[in-house]
Structure 1
């Protein structure tokens, strides 16, 4: 008999790459949740409330451990009206990848597929990965099958030049800065000139490459990458949202900092 509630080990890998490996396919609309120290899967008919927050002994999935701005019990995930519901029970807002905020006491339904949630803190945003396996669809002669939807969690397709510029722009995030911001265009141009002195790197050229990536991903359905998606003042929000997407989809990783080595 397959358990309706299963623990996920810390080394299971990002949910952005798909469902965790298993001997038996999960029940449709099973909830998978992953924090920094592991996570849990919950079948839709388990009648179980999953609690997450910074105090690991009191919650099922730890997020923001060590950051006292995150509530000990920050939120919970429950099955309501045949859908998975997020309830923010803490003081800090929880941000969806499209920049929508769920404030304390508020609720929001979760879509099928992969959704990176961020507990917003003055120090940094803390990632809570959520994936809901797709509902059953009509199959061929073999009967119903489970299909994984195309989601925001798929690794992005970047060419070598785009990869270099974006790793340079996002290096403070990759270096683990507690309050990271994208580099300025002047800083990016300076770094690229240092790495490739024979090429004509300028602020305008770097900005044009990044704008092209934002436009490409926006056409593919990624939210928060164009000025129309973000309330003013825009500031660094567009590049911050782009970098966040590249991080949660594992398109860029800490190991990519080697691209900036001479």
Structure 2
């Protein structure tokens, strides 16, 4: 019986602190025993307990390990390539071990080219029934953010490269955006200054509403030298599907 099947069928829950780990080539369950270490990598038993990236020579034979101590599982990178955790956190060979939180944690082992090898980790908590199958439940829609018509047009123009899903997109400059807006909506009299003020107003409003990415800079550090906050704004709006590719139709010339 696979891990996913056993969870879905309601097998008796494991004691708190139990580690469950899974890759495309295997899975395991480890009890919360002081000093116990679980190793993963490209190698074979007994060098590793869980195989990952077994056909990728960029993955080390022993690429990482999880050790239970002080009531927590601690993750350490022992390989030559980086290990990536959620929120962009990276672990290097020289990085101190980090504790795993209760619940689900995905980690990615850097491989050859653009390959990244997924290791799924789950640490049980108190009264934890494990991941529950919700195949029949309604899908939770992403949280979207309210924009008025002017704001939507402005952000579509600034973020058109994001809506085309280009690699590593960046916003248009205010000067270029002002030129395009002057052509599309000459009566609105968009200027660089007006664009700047409108974008700042949107950033402040969404930051108060709990936007995912930072939208305001630390005033004590002076004015930011790049457009990283605008990048955060557009990236978050596209990821949340507040802005979607059909919005590019707003840039069509109505007079044509």
2:226 counterpart of 1:235? yes
Among 209, 215, 224, which residue is 2:214 paired with?
A: 224
The offset of 1:117, in angstroms, is 9.6
TM-score by length of 1: 0.51
The alignment of Structure 1 onto Structure 2 pairs a total of residues equal to: 214
TM, length-normalised to structure 2: 0.52
- Any gaps of 5 or more consecutive residues in structure 2? 32-36, 42-51, 133-140
Structure 1 runs not aligned, ≥5 long: 7-22, 34-38, 52-57, 61-70, 139-145, 147-152
RMSD over aligned Cα, in angstroms? 5.7
Distance 1:72 1:252 in 2: 37
Shift of 1:182: 0.9
> What is the alpha-carbon distance in structure 1 between the residues aligned to residue 102 and residue 219 of structure 2?
22
**Matched ranges for 1:127-138 at <5 A:** none
Alignment partner, residue 184 of structure 1: 173
Q: State the distance in 2 between where 1:119 and 1:231 align.
A: 35
1:102-141 CA-to-partner distances (Å, cap 9, x unmatched) read 2533465677899999999xxxx999999999x9899xxx
The 1:204–1:102 alpha-carbon spacing in structure 2 relative to 1, beyond 3 Å, is same
What is the alpha-carbon distance in structure 1 between the residues aligned to residue 170 and residue 233 of structure 2?
12
Structure 1 residue 104 and structure 2 residue 92: aligned?
yes
**Bigger radius of gyration:** 2
The reply on whether 1:171 has 2:138 as its aligned counterpart is no
Q: How does 1:183-202 map to 2 (within 5 A)?
A: 183-202=172-191
Which aligned runs of 4 or more in structure 1 are off by greater than 4 angstroms?
42-51, 71-97, 107-120, 125-133, 135-138, 229-234
Q: 1:183 deviation in Å?
A: 0.6
